[in-house]
Amino acid sequence: MILANQTAIVTGGGKGIGKAIALALAREGANVVVSGRNKEALESAANELQALGITSLAIEADVSNESQVAELIDVTQKKFGRIDILVNNAGVTGPTAPATQISRAEWDEVLAINLTGAFICAKAVIPYMIQRGSGKIINIASIAGKLAYALRSPYAASKWGMIGLSRTLAQELGPYNIQVNAICPGPTDGERMRGVIAGRARELGKTEQEVERLYLEGTALKRMVDPGHVAAAVVFFASEEGSSITGEALDVTAGYAL
155 included as an active-site residue:
yes
What's the pLDDT tens digit per position in 26-64? 999 999 999 999 999 999 999 999 999 999 999 999 999
For residue 195, is pLDDT > 80? yes
What does the alpha-carbon distance between residue 216 and residue 222 come to, in Å, rounded to a whole number?
Answer: 5
**Does 240 reside within a domain?**
yes
**Does 123 reside within a domain?**
yes
What's the pLDDT tens digit per position in 215-252? 999 999 999 999 999 999 999 999 999 999 999 999 99
What does the alpha-carbon distance between residue 233 and residue 252 come to, in Å, rounded to a whole number?
Answer: 8
**Does 210 reside within a domain?**
no
**Does 107 reside within a domain?**
yes
The pLDDT value recorded for residue 256 is 96
Please report the sign of the dihedral spanned by the C-alpha atoms of residue 201, residue 204, residue 210, residue 216. Answer: negative
Strand-pair partners of 11: 35
For residue 83, is pLDDT > 70? yes
Of 155, 176, 215, 256, which residue is the catalytic one?
155
**Does 215 reside within a domain?**
no
What does the alpha-carbon distance between residue 206 and residue 212 come to, in Å, rounded to a whole number?
Answer: 10
What does the alpha-carbon distance between residue 32 and residue 49 come to, in Å, rounded to a whole number?
Answer: 8
For residue 141, which phi and psi values (nearest 5 degrees)? -90, -130
**Does 207 reside within a domain?**
no
The pLDDT value recorded for residue 257 is 85
For residue 258, is pLDDT > 80? no
Q: CATH no. for residue 233?
A: 3.40.50.720
What's the pLDDT tens digit per position in 107-134? 999 999 999 999 999 999 999 999 999 9
Provide the domain limits for residue 43: 7-187+226-252
**Does 196 reside within a domain?**
no
Cβ neighbours, 10 Å, residue 252: 22
What's the pLDDT tens digit per position in 138-161? 999 999 999 999 999 999 999 999
Share of residues in the chain with pLDDT > 90 (%):
99
Domain count, the chain: 1
Share of residues in the chain with pLDDT > 70 (%):
100
Output the furthest CA–CA distance in the chain (Å, rounded). Answer: 54
82, 27, 19: which is closest to 53 by C-alpha? 27
